[in-house]
Amino acid sequence: MTVINIPYGRTHITTEIPDERLAGILESRAHQYEPAAGEEELVAAALANPVASPRLRDLARGRKKIVIITSDHTRPVPTQIMAPLLLAEIRSGSPDADITFLVATGFHRATTEEELKAKFGEQLFRTEKIVVHNCWAKDSLLNAGTLPSGGSLIINKLAMEADLLVAEGFIEPHLFAGFSGGRKSVLPDIVSDVTVLANHCSEFIAHDKARAGILEGNPLHTDMLFAAKAAKLAFILNVVIDADKKIIRAFAGDLETAHLAGCRFVSDLAAVRSRPADIVITSNGGYPLDQNVYQHVKALSAAEATCRPGGVIIACGACDDGHGSEDMYN
């Protein structure tokens, strides 16, 4: 009998499977990866040695209006570790810069005050300027042209009017964008609902290149990269985390080159050989990734890749936030 702990909300569901009925346990090797240093040291080293880019402090010199795109309540990005180091790096180059954290909600509901406090910590929440993106607030958005796909590119005004645009985030396989992180901090994260729907359309999601781990030829990625360049995203800080949401690697620098380096690292760790089975039990990794049905589709996508035709997927998700998106529900 094999005992398996399945991430569920802030805890686990434990199940026992008879050995003769267990086809395999598929999990990322990130969970066994031994990082070269502590979390803060990894981030500091990435900022000190950016990929294909000057240091952030050098980019910040002479810039007065700086915006840092940061993930929302649906992502386990360790902002309390990353943000202070980003701020110190920026302020060492531009001590008097006006810095705003732009919370990238994409098509999600607004992040609550309590969620912001949990994300940033009490001190940063009190002392730093934080704005929550609203994809439906037309007066907070600017038209930035047309996507390669033909959709309207409408981006948050704060980002478009910044002297320097920076993004923090994390990299994981994504069910139709290939990987999260990098360019995805702009599209879908800080664009209008119109732009999200143009990019996240059924035609693109059904495309044979719109799959986890694939960037080249992926129409969603093509749009996303275009949008990030249109917004003049100048620098990224992306981390890779393990099952305990701890940082195991960090990548900083050019939005495209640094992101690709991170994607290669994640791909080497996360790719596993399928073990086709009649029953596949999965989860979305626990909180905050499984807080609603909207996010939990990712668990279904991963399970589908190893479930036999006509088989059964059991997806374990707390979904404390319900379906998570009124638009998706409708």
Catalytic machinery residues: 108, 174
Is residue 119 within 8 Å of residue 80, measured between CB atoms?
yes
Phi first, then psi, for residue 203 (nearest 5°) are: -60, -45
Q: Could you tell me the two tokens for 194?
A: 């119109």
Q: How far apart are CA 299 and CA 297, in angstroms?
A: 5
Q: How far apart are CA 267 and CA 285, in angstroms?
A: 17
